[in-house]
Structure 1
Amino acid sequence: MQRIHNAIQLTGLSDDDLAELYAYPVRLDRPWVRANFVSSIDGAATSGGLSEGLGTPADKSVFAMLRELADVILVGAGTVRAENYGGARADPRRRRALYDRGLGGHRDGAPPPIAVLTASAAIEPGSRLCTDASATPIVITTAAAPQDRKQQLRDAGVRVVEAGDIAVTPKGLLRALEELQLRRVLCEGGPHLFGELLDADAIDELCLTTAPVLVGGTARRISLSAHEFHTPMARRHILLDDDGTILTRWARR
């Protein structure tokens, strides 16, 4: 690896190199929550209303690797609707190889399911999440959510998990993921879900891409919460791409 001022030049890194850099801790005994976001230089989490508007080739490469490593992809319902989420795709051979090396992946090569947090079970059974998925999608909701909605989702092939009475707390969410034996968690947003998890001290690490653009406007930050908090983080690595993209990995101290 070519290092420049304590950073790693992305050009020339192999998939194996990326997997080593982003591997989850081994022998986890609880869900480890990793968040992945992209931001502009001036702090915007979206461009044109979508995070995809900030994507670069380097960001997409790391995005794909993080999904390959994960057991489950956690997303808020608003992000599912805004980004028109479908199921995750994965390379079965790579997923098996990652599992054999203890880095992540899956022993059978299956792709990670998408798990959506929605207290009201407000997901359309005809959405891409339900109709375009290789792995059974999961909706994490409440006992108070309308029963007919939950039944419609079950009928559409969704696994419905009740993780609270009228609300799903971060503690209840992590308990539900643990019961499903999904410990390598990749949170892809949105800002409200990320903010709630941060406020509850439930985020173990953040992978942040800084796209080489200025956006302006009124775009939101990557995290939104009711309270201000101060969580010290330690830098794990910096990757630099030739187009100016900066990819960082931060872990809780």
Structure 2
Amino acid sequence: MQQLISPPARPSADPGSPESLAAVYAYPDQVNHGLPWLRANMVAGLDGGARLDGLSEGLSGDADKLIFGVLRALSDVVLVGAETVRAEGYRPARAPAAFAAARRAAGQAPAPVIAIVSRSLGLDLAAPLFTEPLVRTVVITTADSPAESRRAVAEVADVIVAGEGSVDLPAAVAALAGRGWTRLLTEGGPRLLGQLAAADLLDELCLSLAPLITAGDAPRIIHGAEMPDAQRMRLVSLIEQKGFLFTRYQRLHPDSAPSAT
């Protein structure tokens, strides 16, 4: 693994170590002052497809899985759509042991919270995500979601109500930050990521580019939602390993662009 572009003052020795990757992907200082920072972590093939044989797993590799683990270990909460939870067979998050001390020092829980966005509440409440989490799973839904389903979910997870008809994502992010979870990570899927981008909530995109051409009808990593304007991003780090490219982009604001520290 080699760092082709790295943020200033980042270590370049052993770029593939968890410690080095944690430095490269560190959240900005604003998270220590109660301000949320939402990053997305996605993988795509060279032709833009976000899935292979229906799953993102087919596009992944060893280095991608390592970075996936580091990004989770740095986060307070992982925001994910219910469709992705069902399709990818989500399980409770576990932070690598190497990050235990750093998480304690930062006042974080032993593992990030999984927060599921679901309007219909069509969730398998007997799944390990609800029966075996290190930290209680959160479900974000709407005021008009099925009342009986909401009561059942509340027995095994914390419920956040945000919006009516569809989940109000700005309100959801504010509710998560209000619980002290300012280091936000979303893993999509493409529909949720599109909604977050359209709501102007996406601060950062970590995109793993797999050296594969998949063709077919797989969606792009951001799919479905219409954005009023294209969001300009700036490249802040680039890592290569066995043909995979691991990019990190941050929002480019008209007057200034935040730097990770």
**Which of 48, 65, 72 is matched with 2:77 structurally?**
72
- Tell me the equivalent position of 2:181: 182
CA–CA separation in structure 2 for the residues paired with 1:14 and 1:93: 11
How far did 1:128 drift?
3.2
C-alpha distance in 2 between matches for 1:223 and 1:3: 26
What is the CA deviation profile of residues 46-103 of structure 1, one whole-angstrom value per residue up to 9, with x for unaligned ones?
0010001111111001000000000000000100011011110113551322553xxx
Per-residue CA shift, 1:143-180, capped at 9, x if unaligned?
A: 2111211111122x211111123322221111211222
CA distance in 2, matches of 1:61, 1:49: 22
Structure 1's 31 and 109: CA in aligned 2 closer, same or farther, altered over 3 A? closer
Aligned 8 A contact 2:50 2:220 in 1: yes
Alignment check: 8 A CA contact 1:92 1:111 kept: no
- Which one-letter code corresponds to 2:23 in the other structure? E
CA distance in 2, matches of 1:175, 1:17: 30
* Match among 16, 19, 40 for residue 16 of structure 1: 19
CA distance in 1, matches of 2:111, 2:231: 32
**Offset at 1:126?**
1.4
Deviates more, 1:210-219 or 1:169-178: 169-178
Structure 1: 5+ residue runs without aligned partners? 101-105
Q: Any runs of at least 4 consecutive aligned residues in structure 1 with deviations exceeding 6 A, and if so which?
A: 7-11
2:107 is aligned to: 107
Are 2:45 and 2:212, in contact at CA under 8 Å, matched by a contact in 1?
yes
Q: Structure 1's 154 and 3: CA in aligned 2 closer, same or farther, altered over 3 A?
A: closer
Deviation at 1:139, TM superposition (A): 0.2
- TM-score normalised by structure 1 residue count: 0.89
- How far the C-alpha of 1:31 sits from its partner, in A, is 1.6
Superposed displacement of residue 3, structure 1 = 5.4
Q: Describe the SS at the equivalent of 1:174.
A: helix
Root-mean-square deviation (CA, aligned residues, Å) is 2.2
SS in 1 for 2:23: helix
Identity %: 38
Counterpart position of 2:57: 52
Q: Which range is displaced more, 61-70 or 145-154?
A: 145-154
Per the alignment, residue 149 of structure 2 pairs with 149
Cα shift at 1:142: 1.4
Aligned residue number for residue 89 of structure 1 = 94
What per-residue deviation string (whole Å, max 9, x for no partner) do you get for residues 92-125 of structure 1? Answer: 551322553xxxxx53651011000112222121
Superposition TM-score, scaled by structure 2 size: 0.87
Match of 1:204 in 2: 203
Which aligned pairs between 1:128-147 and structure 2 lie closer than 5 A? 128-147=128-147
Q: How does 1:156-235 map to 2 (within 5 A)?
A: 157-228=156-227, 229-235=229-235
The more displaced of 174-183 and 18-27 is: 174-183
Letter in 1 for 2:110: A
Partner of 1:250: 249
Cα 1:7/1:70, change in 2 over 3 Å: closer
- Equivalent residue number for residue 236 of structure 1: 236
Structure 2 Cα separation of the partners of residues 2 and 83 of structure 1: 29
CA spacing shift, 1:126–1:58, aligned 2, 3 Å: same
List alignment gaps of at least 5 residues for structure 2: 253-261
CA distance in 2, matches of 1:245, 1:136: 34
Q: Distance between the aligned counterparts of 2:2 and 2:92, measured in 1?
A: 35
**Residue pair 1:94, 1:109 contacting (<8 A) in 2 also:** no
Q: How many residues were matched structurally?
A: 245
Q: What is the alpha-carbon distance in structure 1 between the residues aligned to residue 246 and residue 236 of structure 2?
A: 11
Q: Distance in 2 between matches of 1:12 and 1:227?
A: 37
Q: Distance in 1 between matches of 2:158 and 2:188?
A: 20
